[in-house]
Structure 1
């Protein structure tokens, strides 16, 4: 089993979508815990590549290929989590997740979404480059309690602020907990725009979501 996790990690590092699909299929066929496969395989791979990129040992094309490989694995394994009852039956809560308007970077969003799903939340991923009204429309449609908005560029951080202003303008700010994240964001920025929580890592996002839902 550890071999499959290691192979998944390496396949993501190598940006090899075919190999990721092959090992993800083995996880499915051999009824291996999909949550463990995501956390100990896929996410370990993308985290290691992220560290290499920061250190200048990997380049943007490597990151893009790894992100595609990660998405291939997540697309195969996430439905398994929901089916298997790894979420413990009734979902803990409903979360809308997406990248804000103007932002097309989805690696972090995909990882957070996967971990939230694994932690028992029903996650509705509305994708990249989403205006404030789309976050609210989906939240209203499915009855979500948390809106998670990511921004990976300093130029798109203002769109996170706009989501909160839009909710206020629609007189629904009190209905939703808003969590933000992304490379250039910070706790200070979250405080400044009136967000309910800021997560630096995907693990933190899950812990904060637990607190927001409980609170």
Structure 2
């Protein structure tokens, strides 16, 4: 097995303790840091697909993401000088009135694992705060708004419409238990993801 195949397998199986050394060995063999990162992103894509299909569950996804982040730690010094690795910055938050963050945290992890830089605004985020965060951060290409309660659907609508009014070109992706593709389209969002696994894939689609 090649080192890069080994790295991919370690991400998919969530072997956080072993991956750092394996990534370092791949670098020592002359594999480019960006190629290793791409391989790990592909692996998280596989993990996301398995999660969406119900073949694995939240704990398995979390340990795969942990392994990915351990691998990225080793790569970071090499990638710092190579601006081509990031797809851009994604701002994420749970909308005003909603204090749920588990789903949002999983989505954040999958979007970050797909190759974005991430700015997490946390929970109960007012609509204007999303706009301010876009203006405060560099190279923002995507805003992800999460709503987990039926009572916060109006806040989700307000968030999307506030972002779109201030930043017409900005791509906005929404999700959460009560959200449907129809509702996402109705409130003017560019994309919808039913779960964290597909959120990473959809995020990449929206900005590519």
TM-score (norm 2): 0.68
Q: Using the alignment, how far apart are the partners of 2:72 and 2:151 within structure 1?
A: 26
Among 157, 160, 166, the residue aligned to 1:164:
160
Q: Deviations over 1:147-203 (max 9, x none)?
A: 3205485669835434224447xx6243x5132055755542321111234465534
**What residue in structure 1 maps to residue 61 of structure 2?**
63
| Map 1:1-215 → 2, pairs under 5 A | 3-40=2-39, 42-53=40-51, 57-77=55-75, 80-87=78-85, 95-101=89-95, 102-105=100-103, 106-117=105-116, 123-126=117-120, 128-129=122-123, 131-132=125-126, 133-142=128-137, 144=139, 146-149=141-144, 151=146, 153=148, 158=153, 160-167=156-163, 172-174=166-168, 177-182=170-175, 187-198=181-192, 200=198, 202-210=200-208
What secondary structure sits across from 1:83 in the alignment? coil
TM, length-normalised to structure 1: 0.66
Q: 1:62 to 1:25 in 2, by over 3 A?
A: same
Query: Quick check: 190-199 or 177-186, which moved more?
Result: 177-186
Uncovered stretches (5+) of structure 2, i.e. residues with no partner: none
Residues 151-160 or 69-78, more deviating: 151-160
Aligned residues: CA RMSD: 3.7
Q: Distance in 1 between matches of 2:147 and 2:31?
A: 33
| Aligned counterparts of 1:143 and 1:161: Cα–Cα separation in 2 | 25
**Structure with the greater relative contact order (CA < 8 A, sep ≥ 6): 1 or 2?**
2
- The answer (yes or no) to whether the contact 2:146–2:174 under 8 Å persists in 1 is yes
How far off its partner does 1:138 sit? 2.0
1:76 and 1:156 map into 2 onto residues whose CA distance is: 43
Stretches of structure 1 that go unaligned for 5 or more consecutive residues are 118-122, 211-215
C-alpha deviations, 1:66-90, integer Å up to 9, x for none?
Answer: 2222222234435643412435xxx
Shift of 1:19: 1.1
Count the aligned residue pairs: 196
Provide Cα deviations, 1:117-151, integer angstroms capped at 9, x if missing partner: 4xxxxx34226536144432221213555332054
